[in-house]
Each structure stands twice: as C-alpha cells, then as structure tokens.
Amino acid sequence: MRPSQTVETYPDGIVDVYADAKRTIGALKVSLRYEKQTIGVRRYYQAQTSVASNRIDRVIKVPHTNKVDRMDIAVMRTEDNRQYRILRIQEKPERGVDLWELQAVQVEIRSGS
C-alpha cells in the first residue's frame, strides 16, 4: 500500500473472470470482489450516438490484477449470473489506490462444457 493510499472496499459481490474460447466460456482466470460504478450521463449519451458495438452496459471497480484481459468474459455472481464481455480496462491512479475499472457489454456466451 502506498503511503497516501486510501483503503478501498468492494462490497457489491464477486465477479468470476473467464478466458474467451471462441465464443464460449473458457477456463476460470480469477474471482474478484467488485463495487458497482455508475455509467455517467456523458458516457451513456456518447455510447447512444456511436455505433452499437461501443455501448457500455456495466462498469465495475475491482482490485488491480494482471489476470484480466480485454475480451475476457465476466460473470457476475448474482441470481441471474449475467455475463459481460470486458471491452475496456482502465487504471484509476487518480484515486490514490491500485484499482481497475472494467467497462463491459452484456452478452450471452455458451458454457464451454
């Protein structure tokens, strides 16, 4: 922990991150605690006016890890186990902590089994 670093919490649940295996869910890479983030008005309207592939359906904050890559599949451990393709990973050093913001779009991916 850096001297000026604040303590972050991730109270909203657990997300399982899987490798993408040709449009199926591949091997489990990591399970992380997360905190939901809001999709700001500016980001929402920019996505609405751009091509459909640029939309963002979910943004979550997770601890920094080198095990998550763009295009991985994030499965939220919720009642409906929603699946998201990770489109963008953004480091947030301005908050004074080692964390990532994962921006994703909701998808339905078949199980690799």
Which tops the pLDDT comparison, 81 or 23?
Answer: 81
Cβ-proximal residues to 40 (8 Å cutoff; 6+ apart), any chain: none
pLDDT tens figures, 48-62: 555 555 677 888 999
Question: Nearest to residue 108, comparing CAs of 74, 77, 84, 89?
Answer: 84
Each domain of the chain, given as residue ranges in start order, spans: 13-111
3-12 pLDDT tens trace: 565 677 899 9
Helix (H) or strand (E) holding 101: strand 99-107
63-104 pLDDT, tens per residue?
A: 888 899 999 999 999 888 899 999 888 887 665 566 788 888
Please name the CATH architecture into which domain 13-111 falls: Beta Barrel (2.40)
